[in-house]
Amino acid sequence: MEPRTLKLNEFKELYKALKTGVVIIDYLFFSFIYWLENKVIENRSQQVVDEAIKEFYSLHGELSPTHPNDVVSPVYTEEPSETSTSLPNMRLTAPWYDDTAGKE
């Protein structure tokens, strides 16, 4: 496990300003600042992503997801197996797949 370090300069400066020289108090300050820094980074990242999504939708318009009624269910078929008496050949295919093509 790598040691925890502060990533942003503003939090490094804050820790240096709050540092007392007493190990346990410094550790508590560092732990709180480390936690706070991670929350700030997470919040800033979320805001940037949200803004990028809004910008994308403003340029390209709303994208409509596929309606559940538009989804076609696969076709399940079972045929007796030539090699096994207890296990049939099972298949899932699209409804438009022509199973007879090539069988003549």
Instruction: Please count the other Cβ atoms lying within 10 Å of the Cβ belonging to residue 52.
Output: 10
Q: Is residue 76, in this structure, part of any structural domain at all?
A: no
pLDDT of residue 98: 80
Q: Is residue 44, in this structure, part of any structural domain at all?
A: yes
pLDDT of residue 31: 95
Q: Is residue 3, in this structure, part of any structural domain at all?
A: no
User: Over its length of 104 residues, how does the chain's per-residue pLDDT go in tens digits?
Assistant: 678 899 999 999 999 999 999 999 999 999 999 999 999 999 999 999 999 989 988 887 776 666 666 677 888 988 888 887 788 888 898 888 887 766 65
Q: Is residue 72, in this structure, part of any structural domain at all?
A: no
81, 88 contact by CB (below 8 A) = yes
d(Cα 56, Cα 50) in Å, to the nearest integer? 10
DSSP class of 86 = S
Number of domains in the chain: 1
Q: Is residue 36, in this structure, part of any structural domain at all?
A: yes
> 45: domain range?
9-60
Q: Is residue 89, in this structure, part of any structural domain at all?
A: no
